[in-house]
Amino acid sequence: MNHALESLGRRGVNFVAKTGGIFFMMVKFIASLKDIPFSLRLIVEQIYLVGVRSLPLIITISIFIGAVSVWQAAYQFKFIGAPLRLLGQAVGKAVVIELAPVLSALVFAGRVGAGITAELGTMRVTEQIDALESMGISPIRYLVLPRVVASTLMLPFLVIFANFVAILGGVIVSVAGVAVSSETFLNGFRDSFNLSDFNNGLIKAAVFGFLIGIVGCYEGFNAGGGAQGVGKATTSAVVVASVLILVSNFVFALMLFRI
């Protein structure tokens, strides 16, 4: 009993420490924004690594997101007897508002967030971060700033692609599998398309990208205890980022999409 309480207490303390640490990382990141002019080369490099290099993965998952959405929507339409010409409207909304931003963010957390933590965590345990500091170089400016800027900017960019490709995947399935013509599907999509939904999806993506970058850097900076510690930190980065994405997504739903 005592033991369980103690363990619970320790978890509580860890949770508070982590929340505080992540918040503090955000503050330090924001304070480092003034150094952007001196870090342009590093930012461009990260934009390439984080954004451009994630494109193939995002494209691949998006085709299947569109494809399965159309398939499942058609399946349900059949049961409730809804006309299939509404397929494009239903799927289009779901993709633009929720599926493309959230699923891209979760995949991005797995690829980019984990990558940031593994890299920075290794730098931490091999004293490379100490070495940077000893040279008078701020690790926040040199490591955190470029990564967080890149992930904040690039996730929305990737979501734009995800939207297009998911709709394309949807068209393919609706033509090939559901016997709804591409005109019907795309007309339905266009009728329901709303620029503010699209923009809200991108705003969400930017926030998710920011959270993924911050959590990835925080976990990497606080990795300890050799390779095993880096592994733990990496897992933790993906878990924490995923939870934050889904929780903040619900908050966005309440704020942006008033019923």
Partner 1 sequence: MSDQLIQIEHLRKSFGGNEVLKGIDLTISRGDAIAIIGQSGCGKSVLLKHLIRLLKPDEGTVTFDGQDIATADSRWLREMRYRVGVLFQSAALFDSMSVAENVGLGLKESREYSPKQIAEKVAEKLDLVGLGSATNKYPSELSGGMRKRVGLARAIATDPEVLLYDEPTTGLDPITSDMINDLIVDLRDKLNVTSIAVTHDMVSAYKIADRIVMLYDGVVQFDGTPKDAQTTDDPIVQQFINGRAIGPIQVR
Q: Which is nearer to partner 1, 11 or 190 (CB)?
A: 11
Phi and psi at residue 83, to the nearest 5°? -70, 135
128 binds partner 1 (CB under 8 A): yes
Distance between CA atoms of 46 and 53, rounded to whole angstroms? 10
Among 17, 52, 131, 203, binds partner 1 (CB under 8 A): 131
Q: Which is nearer to partner 1, 208 or 221 (CB)?
A: 221
Distance between CA atoms of 92 and 90, rounded to whole angstroms? 6
Q: Which residues 161-200 are close enough to bind partner 1 by CB under 8 A?
A: none
Q: Which is nearer to partner 1, 8 or 137 (CB)?
A: 137
With a CB cutoff of 8 Å and minimum separation 6, the contacts of 64 are 169
136 binds partner 1 (CB under 8 A): yes
Q: Give pairs for 30-34: CB < 8 Å, separation 24+.
A: 31/140, 32/138, 32/140, 32/141, 32/144, 32/145, 33/145
Please report, as a single letter, which amino acid is at residue 199. Answer: N
Q: Provide the minimum distance between the beta carbon of 141 and partner 1 in the complex, in angstroms, as a whole number.
A: 9
Residue closest to 117 by CA, chosen among 147, 157, 155 = 147
Q: Which is nearer to partner 1, 16 or 131 (CB)?
A: 131
126 binds partner 1 (CB under 8 A): yes
Place of tokens 């959590």: 215
Q: Which is nearer to partner 1, 56 or 136 (CB)?
A: 136
Please report, as a single letter, which amino acid is at residue 190. Answer: R
The site for partner 1, by CB under 8 A, has a size of 16
Among 6, 35, 127, 191, binds partner 1 (CB under 8 A): 127
Phi and psi at residue 136, to the nearest 5°? 80, 15
Q: Which is nearer to partner 1, 130 or 191 (CB)?
A: 130
Q: 83 in the Ramachandran plot: left (φ > 0), alpha (ψ -120 to 50) or beta?
A: beta
Among 79, 134, 195, 254, binds partner 1 (CB under 8 A): 134
| Stretch binding partner 1 (CB under 8 A), from 8-16, 70-78, 130-138, 154-162 | 130-138
Q: Give pairs for 71-75: CB < 8 Å, separation 24+.
A: 71/173, 71/177, 71/178, 74/174, 74/177, 74/178, 74/180
Return the structure tokens found at 61. Answer: 């998952």
| Stretch binding partner 1 (CB under 8 A), from 14-22, 95-103, 126-134, 175-183 | 126-134
Angle between helix 145-176 and helix 2-32 axes, rounded to 10 deg: 100
| Stretch binding partner 1 (CB under 8 A), from 4-12, 129-137, 146-154, 240-248 | 129-137
33 binds partner 1 (CB under 8 A): no
Among 130, 190, 203, 226, binds partner 1 (CB under 8 A): 130
Q: Which is nearer to partner 1, 1 or 135 (CB)?
A: 135
Binding site for partner 1 (CB under 8 A): 38, 122-123, 126-128, 130-138, 142
